[in-house]
Amino acid sequence: MADFDAQVRESQEQVASAQAKIAELTSRIETARSKLRSGDDISIDIENATLEDVHAHTDVMNANIAELIMGLDDVTAAFSKDFSEMRDKTGWESFVGIFSRAKSESLRQDRIRTANIDDKLQDLISKSDVITKLLEGQLEVLNDQKERVEANLTETLDDREVTVGELEALRDEIKGMDPKIIELENKISVEQDAAARTTLESELAALNAKYNELVQQEQVKLAKSQTLERYIEKGKTWIDSLQNQAATQMVLINKLQTDTKQRVVLYDALTKSLKTAQQQDVAHRINEIGVETDKEAQASMAAIGTATNQRMADMMEAHEGHMVFAREVLEAKAKADERFARRFEKIVEKHDKNLYGA
């Protein structure tokens, strides 16, 4: 329990740190958005190194949580052994059985009846809930950050569409000026009259000034378009990262929730197994008493047997429904385990091969 609590505290610290880094990167993108409005350079605000740092940190966080989940799986696997030991007689009960079989059975039944056998199940479920809350909190942050970045990105896409439209209009205007400039240059080259030539040169100078101004505006719009494009690509990369992180959280949450259902089914099945074993022991003793009694007692036992058979039939019918549900849960668990193993292949391998510290 102490180890689990320590791991949970470590995971909580990692989640808090990851959320801070995620919020910081989203804030950088929002700051860059503000700078875009003023035309400032944004390259220093959204760096690949920052994104890689977030990824590295979330990978460590998710690996830690994955190990917590696999630890719960190990505890669940031990359930069957624990219940089997409960069903068997203890050394003391076996010793008492040498002198009094009835007393031995009574001790065993009392132990089974008074054993707080759901403590482990409740403990597992509570631990699963602790991890699930961590994951759900992280998923909420990821979705919130994604919505904020998407809102920024939508504005930026609109801005770039306008900018590209303005850039194309400038280019069309510049292209439209080329024939006029060439025409004036040709006229100047053949004009003999000094006054007319001076007028044409003045027109050409004004046209060239306007041309140069348009070219300058084109360069500004082009730079803005490229800046917006870089921002959009960074934003898309971050949204994609947030979506992948959210998918990982959903895989972990799904496995935990499915595992919890499976644990309830397992607990129910093993509890029924204990009760059935106890009922069978009682039935055997009734049968032994019946053999030694007279015919009247045998008739009574036969009546009891008929009632027991009916009850057994009811139990079997109920058991069929239980098994259908259990099978559905096991199928869901198999799918959840497959998704989990696919996303945390290295963690699963380390766990299965006991390569901790290697």
pLDDT 10s digits, 207-265? 889 999 999 999 988 888 888 888 888 888 889 889 988 998 998 888 888 888 877 77
Least confident window among 31-35, 236-240, 262-266, 296-300 = 296-300
pLDDT at 296: 45
Is the pLDDT at 105 greater than 90? The verdict is no
How far apart, in whole angstroms, are the C-alpha atoms of residue 343 and residue 339? 6
Q: Which residues of 108-145 are buried (b: 16+ CB within 10 A; e: fewer)?
A: beeebeeeebeebbeebbebbeebbebbeebbebbeeb
CB 221 within 8 A of CB 163: yes
How far apart, in whole angstroms, are the C-alpha atoms of residue 330 and residue 307? 34
How far apart, in whole angstroms, are the C-alpha atoms of residue 9 and residue 3? 10
**Dihedral, 309, 312, 314, 315 alpha carbons, nearest 10:** 180
Average pLDDT over residues 267-288: 58
What's the Rg (C-alpha) of the chain? 39
Residue 308: which pLDDT band, with cuts at 50, 70 and 90? very low
**Stronger pLDDT, 233 or 310, i.e. the higher one:** 233
Token pair for 350: 């380390």
Is the pLDDT at 1 greater than 60? The verdict is no
Q: In 138-278, where do the E strands start and end?
A: none
H-run or E-run covering 344: none
Token pair for 132: 């699930």
C-alpha closest to that of 137 among 16, 223, 258, 226:
16
How many CB atoms within 10 Å of residue 234? 23
Task: Tokens 């505006």: give the residue.
Answer: 217
Is the pLDDT at 342 greater than 90? The verdict is no
Query: What is the tens place of the pLDDT at every residue in 63-90?
Result: 888 888 888 887 777 766 666 666 677 7
Is the pLDDT at 36 greater than 90? The verdict is no
Q: Which residues of 265-292 are buried (b: 16+ CB within 10 A; e: fewer)?
A: bbbebbeeebeeebeeeeeeeeeeebee
Residue 304: which pLDDT band, with cuts at 50, 70 and 90? very low
pLDDT at 252: 87
pLDDT at 355: 60
Is the pLDDT at 324 greater than 60? The verdict is no
C-alpha closest to that of 133 among 253, 40, 51, 236:
253
Top mean-pLDDT range of 74-78, 140-144, 335-339: 140-144
Q: Which residues contact 111 (CB under 8 A, 6 or more apart)?
A: 86, 90, 93
Residue 191's alpha-carbon distances to 182, 208, 324, in angstroms, are 14, 19, 101
| Average pLDDT over the chain, rounded to an integer | 76
**Amino acid code (one letter) for 356:** Y
pLDDT at 170: 92
Is the pLDDT at 146 greater than 80? The verdict is yes
CB 19 within 8 A of CB 138: yes
Is the pLDDT at 322 greater than 50? The verdict is no
Residue 172: which pLDDT band, with cuts at 50, 70 and 90? very high
pLDDT at 260: 81
How far apart, in whole angstroms, are the C-alpha atoms of residue 262 and residue 19? 31
Is the pLDDT at 22 greater than 80? The verdict is yes
Task: Tokens 């990262």: give the residue.
Answer: 241
Average pLDDT over residues 200-212: 89
pLDDT at 301: 46
Least confident window among 89-93, 152-156, 195-199, 293-297 = 293-297
